[in-house]
């Protein structure tokens, strides 16, 4: 039984968005670590358009473990979808982090 992209976007996506913002960092970490599996099901365009913003927020998270997992899983996604996908969806945003006032965010870039 395969879940369609429409079904995911209407039912699972709102839950992911909500969980991505909870104050408990361990929950955010668990969500991040499931993203590559979800990306397999959703495809590169859908994933990049609908969920990439959350990765960028996680790169600036207060919890080190969340930032580290975001970097690790972005690398996994880039391996899966290729460098052109990374360039289209997030490389310019990461480059902007290198000019951020917060040294923790500059370290991520």
pLDDT tens-place values along the chain, 109 residues long: 455 667 766 778 888 889 988 999 999 999 999 999 888 888 888 888 888 888 888 988 989 999 999 999 999 999 999 999 888 888 777 777 777 677 666 666 5
Tell which residue, 86, 80, 83, has the closest CA to residue 38.
Answer: 80
In the DSSP assignment, the letter for residue 79 is: H
Give how far Cα 70 sits from Cα of 5, 7, 29, 57, Å: 23, 25, 8, 9
Q: How far apart are CA 39 and CA 31, in angstroms?
A: 12
């Amino acid at each position: 039984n395969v879940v369609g992209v429409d079904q995911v976007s209407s039912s699972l996506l709102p839950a992911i968005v909500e969980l991505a913002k909870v104050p408990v960092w361990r929950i955010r970490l668990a969500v991040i670590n499931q993203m590559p599996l979800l990306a397999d099901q959703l495809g590169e365009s859908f994933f990049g358009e609908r969920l990439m913003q959350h990765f960028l927020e996680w790169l600036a998270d207060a919890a080190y473990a969340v930032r580290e997992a975001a970097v690790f899983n972005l690398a996994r996604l880039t391996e899966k979808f290729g460098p052109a996908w990374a360039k289209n969806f997030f490389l310019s945003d990461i480059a902007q982090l290198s000019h951020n006032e917060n040294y923790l965010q500059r370290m991520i870039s």
